[in-house]
Amino acid sequence: MFPRWRTLSMAALIEDYALLGNCKTAALVARDGSLDWLCFPCFDAPACFAALLGSSDNGRWKIAPKEPVIFTERRYREGTLILETVFQTASGRAMLIDFMPVDEGSHVVRIVVGLEGEVAFGMDLAIRFDYGSTVPWVENRDGETLTAIAGPEMLVLRATETLHALDHHTGCDFHVTAGHRETFILSHQASTETLQTAIDAEQELQRTEGFWREFSDRCPDVGQWTAQVKRSLITLKAMTYAPTGGIVAAVTTSLPEQLGGERNWDYRFCWLRDATMTLLAFMNLGYFEEASAWREWLLRSVAGNPEQIQIMYGLGGERRLPEYELPWLSGYENSKPVRIGNAAATQMQLDVYGEVADAMTQALKGGLPRLPRSVAISKVIMPFLEKVWHMPDKGIWEIRAEPRHFTHSKVMTWVAFDRNASLIAQTAVTDDDRALAQHYRSVADQIHADVCLNGFDSELGSFVQTYGAKALDASLLQIALTGFLPADDPRVIGTVAQIERSLMQDGLLLRYDNDRSADGVSGNEGTFLVCSFWLADVYVLLGRRQEARELYDRLCGLCNDVGLLAEQYDPRSKRMLGNFPQAFSHIGIINTALNLHRVMCPVKARAMSEAATVE
């Protein structure tokens, strides 16, 4: 009888997972062959395998050798998202090929291939719908096909081996010799539909490889960093919801920022804040179709009353993302609560208005056509922002404490008026156009003076996180990156020095000091990786290229064996933290590589504000 691995197993290390995806949803597979996270049919759907946030009894699909594994090696096929895991045992070697076909359906294909000798395998499938809470009704159709149904959902497993059921699990034993292949296909469909026709696994393998190779082969040369940039580009593509163009911040929820703590959030949504850097990453690599799709998603999502613009939306631009907890899941390494949805969607965060304006500007600079809708949206957003820019907000890090006057938020409202003033002035035809451009420039100058007066601490010689405070924040690096002030301004240089002094931990940056800056959530967290990429970018602007390269290489060295990065990293335990893989981190890999490789690079182009003044 097939092995049940009866002892409950917990999730692997975050860095031990690899990503599978079909540009609609994603799965995570551990080094031991256990698929511990999968949401069908889309990124934010309830998981049918949730062992990542609990135990194996919350749903997982494991295919692995039955005997002890001496050595495991894995990689993606060159330029693809097809994962190959090679297991070495005392009796031989075998490869597990995992992928998700990129087509209209929803499938995971797993193929075991014998390489040397003879290796005995076991397959164990535990389907648990609704985030590990619902045991489905399972029927064995013909010995090699089973269906699992719970309400509207159905999963269908087809195998080249006879399947057996035991104690709400399904599995089989088999062995492979050199050249022998066994195939397992898990498909999702509505339970109300008739059983869909089986797909051809080998044909889909070829098609999927062709899809990813066609995409990744268009990536230009980025010098010594080309391979890492290409892997991050593939990761971003996999995190794109193809039907709408939206890009999720991560494919997971509630992976903790502190092990055992409560800093656990759902990142399976699309943040406006990612817009500018995402557009720059795609456009500077020549991926204008993806950049255009992302901009289209952005414009559809923010359309409407400016008072109702949110900081994040669902995959299709959905606005209601209610946050609730799943008490039956123990959490990753007992990090509770497990949260679904994100209450930060309702927060006032003023910086997103600047991100939208900057994204529209960079899109035009990058060669995307001007869209009438973007002009119309700007005409309603800017008067609203003029009324509210001086108000306190929750800031870029989405604090769950009282609103404050965040320096970064004010800087980004300046970006909104600065970019709009420049765009309107460049295309002005009438006196009204020129008057509006002049007005926006006047507001931008007003905000600039306010930030320089209230956001700068002369004793520290540095800008500070919030008006009147002494604490620092890595988001202050955006002062140079957006062109608010030149990188060589003494106040920027002083800010960089203070950030290095107060937020650096083992060569990497915290986003802020939790002990000095109350954010409404208990505990601490690891270093926030995108902040260190920002620092490398500022080093480029400052001409500190050697330091930029050293920091960039350090960050790339944190990637796991298949080139993936989480949101955070804990230098003490040398472990990844936070949701995984993180779009922000991989955008950082791409843009910083371009900044190091090209003379006229994204960071210099973005920081070239025509009207940044020195107060």
Note the maximum CA span of the chain: 83
CA distance 313 to 297: 10
Coil, helix or strand at residue 351 = helix
Are 325 and 337 within 8 A, CB to CB?
Answer: yes
Burial (0-12, 13-18, 19+ Cβ within 10 Å), 308: exposed
Give the pLDDT band of residue 615 (cuts 50, 70, 90).
Answer: very low
Instruction: Work out the number of other CB atoms within 10 angstroms of the CB of residue 7.
Output: 7
Q: Return the closest-CA partner of residue 536 out of 577, 490, 608, 480.
A: 480
Q: Using one digit for the tens of pLDDT, what is the confidence trace for 123-143?
A: 999 999 999 999 999 998 887
Q: Which helix (H) or strand (E) holds 35?
A: strand 34-39
Q: Is the pLDDT of residue 8 over 80?
A: no
Burial (0-12, 13-18, 19+ Cβ within 10 Å), 128: buried
Helices and strands (H, E) in the chain, number of each type: 15, 28
CA distance 314 to 269: 5
- Per mean pLDDT, which range of 112-116, 308-312, 544-548 is the poorest? 308-312
Mean pLDDT throughout 70-80? Answer: 98
| Site of tokens 């900044």 | 595
User: For a pLDDT cut of 70, what percent of the chain falls above it?
Assistant: 98
CA distance 179 to 185: 19
pLDDT value, residue 7: 58
Q: Using one digit for the tens of pLDDT, what is the confidence trace for 349-396?
A: 999 999 988 988 888 888 898 888 788 888 888 999 999 999 999 999
Q: Return the closest-CA partner of residue 45 out of 18, 63, 27, 60.
A: 27
Are 248 and 239 within 8 A, CB to CB?
Answer: yes
CA distance 277 to 381: 21
Mean pLDDT throughout 23-50? Answer: 98
pLDDT value, residue 3: 52
Higher pLDDT, 372 or 610: 372
User: Cα separations (Å) of 414 from 165, 350, 391?
Assistant: 62, 10, 14
Report CA Rg, the chain: 25
pLDDT value, residue 380: 86
pTM: predicted TM-score of the whole model, two decimal places = 0.96
Mean pLDDT throughout 141-158? Answer: 93
Are 12 and 34 within 8 A, CB to CB?
Answer: yes
pLDDT value, residue 517: 85
Q: Is the pLDDT of residue 278 over 70?
A: yes
CA distance 9 to 140: 26
Q: Is the pLDDT of residue 614 over 80?
A: no
Are 167 and 111 within 8 A, CB to CB?
Answer: no
Q: Using one digit for the tens of pLDDT, what is the confidence trace for 212-255?
A: 999 999 999 999 999 999 999 999 999 999 999 999 999 999 99
Higher pLDDT, 486 or 5: 486
Q: Which helix (H) or strand (E) holds 335?
A: none
Q: Is the pLDDT of residue 6 over 80?
A: no
Mean pLDDT throughout 578-591? Answer: 97
| Site of tokens 């990637």 | 559
Are 401 and 520 within 8 A, CB to CB?
Answer: yes
Q: Using one digit for the tens of pLDDT, what is the confidence trace for 513-562?
A: 988 888 899 999 999 999 999 999 999 999 999 999 999 999 999 999 99
CA distance 192 to 178: 41
Q: Using one digit for the tens of pLDDT, what is the confidence trace for 424-468?
A: 998 888 999 899 999 999 999 999 999 999 999 999 999 999 999
